[in-house]
Amino acid sequence: MKRIFFLILFLISILGLIVCKEKKPIPELERFVVKSVIHPSNNPFNQEKVELGKTLYFDSRLSFNQDVSCASCHNTASPSEGFPRTKIHNPAPSLTNVALYKDVFKDPEAKELEDLVKDKVHSKLLFQNETKLIQRISSIQGYKELFERAYGDPEISGERIVLALSTFQRTIVSKNSSFDKFVMGEETALTPAQIRGWDVFQNKAKCIQCHQGPNFSDSELHTTGLAGIKDKVRTPTLRDVTKKKTFMHNGIFGSIEDTVNHFAEGGHSKAVHDPMLRPAELSDQDKKDLIEFLKALEGEPIQLEIPSIPKA
């Protein structure tokens, strides 16, 4: 009986050591981890404002013709099908991690997310007649209640709509991926293939030149080696990239494999090249490992359930 008792005690002590083993972050990699989103002092966070912004985001009555909402073309996974493409939405980018870009839009005049919401997207599709829009929203009792909860009084204005939409969009964040867990000390969070892929990402492929920081984007403008495309585009985040259905700013590639091949080849031979875009000698195994690493950047699922829209 004593032997059994001591054996049980020994097993419990071993289990305690395993459970209590302190997770030690990897200091040199912590800069890649999404920890928090900063809300500016002129638009502080509160949950009521998030709920208001989410409701507005899904409400087509913000559009001039009341036929399209923000969510109609911006989706956390991929653009919705059937929406007419414009220069702005070609295809419409996901807003996942939009708050983590250093400059949220390629126009250097837009330094804050609020600038993007107000001037660069909604002025084209939503705020074509702000007076009429405010009158429309103000006539809905449910919105008066939502604005009062968010701001302390029921006043409805274009500025408050922009602030609420921006606050909500800052909550669309992909985080706690397998890579984040690995960096924060969970040694088994990455598979051997993903660890090899991280090495390829940094060294052979040199993806890290442009894809860096917690958003895996330098937020800078680069040409991307596509034939016939001279314009530079902002480096997109690689978080959740393997969940996408189309790739590149114009959706030209239908698979992550085609995209990796494009960059491994240094882009199209007749394209305008960025100095940092050069051919990389990647084996088939290197490419597979690289894609496995990109899968490790998939964060926890972002659930965007359509809220209850106030009735007119």
CA distance 242 to 76: 12
Q: Are residues 166 and 182 in the same domain?
A: no
Q: Are residues 95 and 118 in the same domain?
A: yes
Instruction: Give 140-146 contacts, CB < 8 A, sequence gap 24+.
Output: 140/310, 140/311, 140/312, 141/310, 142/310, 142/311, 143/55, 143/310, 145/310, 146/48, 146/51, 146/52, 146/55, 146/310
Q: Are residues 158 and 112 in the same domain?
A: yes
pLDDT the model gives residue 165: 94
CA distance 197 to 288: 8
Q: Are residues 54 and 152 in the same domain?
A: yes
| Amino acid, single-letter form, for residue 15 | L
- Is there a binding annotation on residue 73? yes
- Is there a binding annotation on residue 210? yes
CA distance 135 to 122: 17
User: Higher model confidence: residue 183 or residue 107?
Assistant: 183
Q: Are residues 183 and 142 in the same domain?
A: no
Question: Is 89 a residue whose pLDDT tops 70?
Answer: no
Q: Are residues 182 and 264 in the same domain?
A: yes
Q: How many domains does the structure of the chain reveal?
A: 2
Examine residue 23 and state whether it is found in any structural domain, yes or no.
no
Examine residue 237 and state whether it is found in any structural domain, yes or no.
yes
Examine residue 10 and state whether it is found in any structural domain, yes or no.
no
Q: Are residues 189 and 278 in the same domain?
A: yes
User: Higher model confidence: residue 306 or residue 105?
Assistant: 306
CA distance 108 to 52: 29
Q: Three-state secondary structure along 107-125?
A: CCCCCCHHHHHHHHHHHHH
Q: Are residues 240 and 192 in the same domain?
A: yes
At which of 106, 139, 170 does a domain end? 170
Q: Are residues 233 and 262 in the same domain?
A: yes
For 87, the token pair is 């220069």
Examine residue 257 and state whether it is found in any structural domain, yes or no.
yes
Question: Is 300 a residue whose pLDDT tops 50?
Answer: yes
pLDDT tens track for 198-210: 999 999 999 999 9
- Is there a binding annotation on residue 74? yes
pLDDT the model gives residue 68: 82
Which of 239, 307, 308 is closest to 94 using CA atoms? 239
At which of 141, 170, 199 does a domain end? 170
pLDDT tens track for 213-265: 999 999 888 999 999 998 898 899 999 999 998 999 888 999 999 999 999 99
Examine residue 16 and state whether it is found in any structural domain, yes or no.
no
Q: How many angstroms separate the Cα of 128 from the Cα of each of 67, 83, 131, 134, 139?
A: 14, 19, 9, 11, 19
Question: Is 18 a residue whose pLDDT tops 80?
Answer: no
Q: Are residues 249 and 275 in the same domain?
A: yes
Q: Are residues 138 and 238 in the same domain?
A: no
- Is there a binding annotation on residue 20? no
Examine residue 7 and state whether it is found in any structural domain, yes or no.
no
Q: Cis peptide before 91, with omega less than 30 degrees from 0?
A: yes
Examine residue 95 and state whether it is found in any structural domain, yes or no.
yes
pLDDT tens track for 39-81: 888 899 999 999 999 999 999 998 888 888 888 877 654 433 3
- Is there a binding annotation on residue 70? yes
At which of 170, 189, 211 does a domain end? 170
Give the structural domain span for 115.
47-82+89-170
Around 180, how many Cα atoms within 13 Å sit in the side-chain half-sphere?
18
Q: Are residues 121 and 195 in the same domain?
A: no
Question: Is 28 a residue whose pLDDT tops 50?
Answer: yes
Domain of residue 110, CATH code: 1.10.760.10
